Structure 1
Amino acid sequence: MYSIKQVSNMLDMPTVTIRAWENRYGAVKPLRTESGYRMYSPDDIEDLRWLKEQVEEKGMNISQAVLVLKAEKNSLVRKGSFLNHSGEPVNAQPYEDLSSDIYEALFAFQGERANKLIDYGFSIYGYDAMFYQVLVPVLVRVGDAWETGEASVAQEHFMTELITRRFFQFYHLFPVHSYLPKVLSLCPSGEHHQVGLMLFSLLLRRNGLDVSYLGPNTPKDGLLDIIKAQGIGIICMSITSPGLVSAAEEYVDYILQAFPDVKFFLGGKGFEGETKTKYSEWVMDEPTENWQEWLSQFIGPEHFGRN
C-alpha cells in the first residue's frame, strides 16, 4: 500500500489533483488508516495512471474518463476474463439465469423490471460480461422466438428496442479519435438481424472510431450522400444468411463505383463456412474473442495503445 505522497511522486501528479479526482468523480477509493490517512493499492495506482493518460494525452475530460474506466473495470479487455467486482471468475450459470430473467420480463412487456435486472447485471458483472454473456443471448433468443412464432411482432420489437437502447447508451462513454477513419455500419435490405453488427460496432466505437449506425434492412438509396457528407472511410456490413451474399456484394459494388478508396468490414454467419464472395479479403470470420486482435491487425496496432 502507498501513501498519497508516494503515489504523487510515482505518477508525477499533484496530491490536490488525486484528492479532487477521488472526491469529485470517485476515480479511486483508497483505504484509510485509523488516523484517516489514505492508502492506495497497486490497482488504484494503475487506474490513476490510466486516467492521467486519457486526460493529458488523449484530451478526454476527467469525468468522461472515469465513466469509461468504470464501464470497463471488470471487462474482458482489462482483465482477460469475465470477473466479478471481487476479481473472481464467474461461472456461466448466473449469466444464464439473469439472461432468462431479462427475457421473461421483456416477453411480458415488463420494461421497468427488465431495466432493473440489466442495471443489476452491469453492477455485478461489468461491461463485456453483460453484453456478451447476458444480453446477446437474450437478443438471439428473441430472434428465434419471432421466427418460430413464439413471440409476436410487437413483442420482438419491444424486446429488441429496449436492449438496443441499452447497448448504445455506452456509445458516448468512449472518446473518438479524429485520426481514425469514420465508419458506417449497416445490414443490406432483407437482413433483419443486427446482433453481430451491433456488437462489432460497439467494439469499433470502444477503439476510438466514429461509428454511424444505420442498423438492419438498410436500403441503398441515400447511402452515397451519407458517405460523402460524413467522410466515411470504412463500411461495416453484416449478413446472417448465405443467400444475402450477392446482395451484400451489390452494395459493395455500388459504393466502390462512387468511392473506390472506401474499405469494408464484412461479417456474419452469411460469410462463414464454404460461402464464397469476390470480396473475401474484407471478410472477418473470427470468433468474438478474436475480434480485437483482428481489428488491430486490419487497421494497424499502432492506433490501439489501449483496448
Structure 2
Amino acid sequence: MNEPIQHGGDTPLYPIREVSRLTGVNSVTLRAWERRYALIKPRRTPKGHRLYAHEDIERIEEILQWLNRGVPVSQVRELLDRPALAEPEAPLPDPSDWNAQRRRLVDAVEAVDLALLDGLYNQALALYPVATCVNELWAPALRELEERWGDERLGNILQRHMLESFLRSRIGMRLYHSNAQHTGPTLLAMPLPDDPGTLWLLLATLLAGDRGLNVTLIDAAPPLGELPLAVERLGASGVLLAGSHAGRTDLIRRQLPRLAEQLEVPLGLCGPVARIRQAELDDSGVAALGDDLIEAITRLQALLPTT
C-alpha cells in the first residue's frame, strides 16, 4: 500500500493510485471528474502528479453517494456546492439523463451500431463507478431488451449475439488487466447450462472484477460433473452461475443441489433465474443471489474466504 505523503506540515496527501484503492473509483474516472466537471481539485507535485488530501477523499465519497442515488454526474457539482442547511429540503435533480442514456443504449443495440455502443460504454465507465453503470444503465437496458427479445426472430438473435460479442471483448479485456493487479479470491464464472446467452454473467463478472476478485470467465458451461475438477485445477474459491430465464426444472431441483454437495467451495446463482427459482433453491446448498447484480456479488463475496 502507498503511504501518504506529508506535505505542508502534518497534512497527509495521497497519490491517485492510493485514492483509487481507498474509494473504489478508478484513476481514469477521477481525472474525468476533475477535468470535465471540476468536481475535485487535487494538489500537484512539481512534476505534475496529483496528490489528494483527506477532504478530497471525503468529497469523492460524497460524489459517490449522489451517483448511487441516480444523480447524473453533470448535476453533482451543484449539489456539492450548495449550503449544507438547504440539503434536506432541496429536491433531487431530474434523473432524465440516465433515461436518455438507457434509451441511446437500447437504440444502439437495436440498430446494431457498434460505434455508438462503444462510445456509450467507454463514456459511462470513464465518468461513473462500475456499480453505478451496471445499476443505472446496463442492467435496466438489458431487462428492456430481453422483454423485446421474447421471440426468436432473426433480428433479435442478431442483436443479442452482437451485444454479447461486444461485452465479452470489452469486459474480458478489463478482467485481464484487473486480474493482474488483484490478489483476492478466484471466482470461476460461467452461464447456466442451456441458457441462451451470457449477458447477465458478463455484467456480474464486470462487478466481481471491480470488487477485487480474480475472475475466470468461461463462455459455455462444461458438464456439471467436471466442475469439481475444474475448481481444483484453477484454485477457485467459488463458482458463479448466471441465467436469463427459468432454466430446466431437473437442473434447478436436482443437478445444481447435487453439484453444491460435490463442491468444496460456495456455488452461487444470479440473474433472473435466481429470482424465479428462489423458493426451489432454499436449503439446497445453492446460494440463490437474485437478479440485483450489485447485491448478488456482495452476498457472494460474503461466502468466499477472506485470505
- Cα-Cα RMSD: 4.4
Equivalent residues of 1:264, 1:282 under 8 A apart:
yes
- Output the TM-score relative to the length of structure 1: 0.64
Equivalent residues of 1:244, 1:270 under 8 A apart:
no
Equivalent residues of 1:74, 1:126 under 8 A apart:
no
- 2-structure distance, mates of 1:39, 1:210: 29
> Counterpart of 1:166?
170
> Counterpart of 1:283?
288
> Counterpart of 2:157?
153
Secondary structure (helix, strand or coil) at the match of 2:267 reads strand
Cα 1:292–1:135 change in 2 (3 A) is closer
> Counterpart of 2:22?
none
Q: Report the Cα offset of residue 46 of structure 1.
A: 5.8
Query: Any stretches of 5+ residues in structure 1 without a counterpart?
Result: 33-37, 48-68
Equivalent residues of 1:186, 1:216 under 8 A apart:
yes
Secondary structure (helix, strand or coil) at the match of 2:289 reads coil
Matched, 1:107 2:113: no
Q: Report the Cα offset of residue 157 of structure 1.
A: 0.9
Q: Could you list the per-position Cα deviations for residues 141-179 of structure 1 after superposition, in whole angstroms to 9, with x for gaps in the alignment?
A: 33333333383422321123213433344323463225x
Matched, 1:266 2:280: no
Matched, 1:128 2:131: yes
Cα 1:143–1:295 change in 2 (3 A) is same
Matched, 1:188 2:192: yes
Cα 1:13–1:119 change in 2 (3 A) is closer
> Counterpart of 2:98?
95
> Counterpart of 2:303?
298
Equivalent residues of 2:260, 2:285 under 8 A apart:
no
Secondary structure (helix, strand or coil) at the match of 2:7 reads helix
Matched, 1:143 2:155: no
How many matched pairs? Answer: 260
> Which residue identity lines up with residue 191 of structure 2 in the other structure?
C
- 1-structure distance, mates of 2:113, 2:194: 30
Q: Report the Cα offset of residue 221 of structure 1.
A: 7.0
Q: Report the Cα offset of residue 267 of structure 1.
A: 2.8
Q: Report the Cα offset of residue 212 of structure 1.
A: 0.9
Identity value in percent = 15
- 2-structure distance, mates of 1:114, 1:31: 35
Matched, 1:81 2:77: no
> Counterpart of 2:37?
none
- Output the TM-score relative to the length of structure 2: 0.64
Cα 1:210–1:100 change in 2 (3 A) is same
Equivalent residues of 1:142, 1:151 under 8 A apart:
no
